[in-house]
Amino acid sequence: MKDELTFLKSVHRLRDLPRDGLPEICISGRSNVGKSSMINRLAIRRNLAKISKKPGKTRSLNYYATGGAYYIVDLPGYGYAKVSREQRKFFADLTGPYLNERSELRGIIQLLDSRHGPVSGDLAMLEWLQEWGGNVLYVLTKADKLSANGRVRALSAFAEEYGDKDVVLFSAVTGMGLDDLRRWIRRIIDT
């Protein structure tokens, strides 16, 4: 079943987080990796989340409501060098406490560019995820830019580095991996 997504609100301060106790799945990844594009694919409606060629577009926790009684949360992208020190501190003030303390958080979808290994910023996040111990789906994005061989290589390189994890190749352009992504979300929400 497809859950329609609708934009609920942008949260800039922790005290503005929803208080209805609905479960949440958040989407993490560095700036420009394709978080908003993935949300638009999930949404059926195409222009829900703002896409930009300019990294650092998403600066708040953006909440999307679904027909399935849970929220999808688009996190600010990390690792974008041109955001000011103040801006980075702001991410840390918002995203760090959210990840560490939000009891509604049931799963994290971690995006990585399928075309290369983790870049700076990813490493700290990947380490944090290993320690977190909750449900994580790793999504290798922009897979349309790889050949069929390149896709196989990307998956095996990931498995070699991180072991047996939930991982999918994804393309917001072709829809590759979308069904697996939806199935994972359903499984996490239903358990």
Residues at the contact surface with ligand GTP, assessed by CB under 6 A? 29, 31-37, 51-53, 55-58, 77, 141-142, 144-145, 171-173
Of Mg ion, ligand GTP, none, which one sits near residue 99, judging by CB under 5 to 8 A according to partner kind? Answer: none
Of Mg ion, ligand GTP, none, which one sits near residue 173, judging by CB under 5 to 8 A according to partner kind? Answer: ligand GTP
Give me the sheet containing 71-74, strands edge to edge.
5-11, 61-66, 71-74, 24-28, 105-113, 135-141, 166-169
Min dist. Cβ of residue 191 to Mg ion (A): 28
Q: Which amino acid is at 27?
A: I
Binding positions for Mg ion, 33-62, rule CB under 5 A: 35-36, 58
> What is the C-alpha separation between 92 and 62, in angstroms, rounded?
16
Min dist. Cβ of residue 181 to ligand GTP (A): 12
Handedness of CA 83, 25, 159, 174 (dihedral sign): negative
* Binding-residue total with Mg ion (CB under 5 A): 3
Q: Which helix (H) or strand (E) holds 39?
A: helix 35-42
> What is the C-alpha separation between 177 and 41, in angstroms, rounded?
11
Looking at beta carbons only, is 35 or 142 nearer to Mg ion? 35
Min dist. Cβ of residue 58 to ligand GTP (A): 3
Min dist. Cβ of residue 8 to ligand GTP (A): 17
Q: Give the number of other CB atoms < 10 A from CB of residue 138.
A: 18
Question: Residue of minimal CB distance from ligand GTP?
Answer: 77
CA dihedral 31, 66, 182, 80 (to 10 degrees): 0
Span interacting with Mg ion, options 27-35, 80-88, 136-144, 183-191, rule CB under 5 A: 27-35
Looking at beta carbons only, is 50 or 153 nearer to Mg ion? 50
Question: Residue of minimal CB distance from Mg ion?
Answer: 36
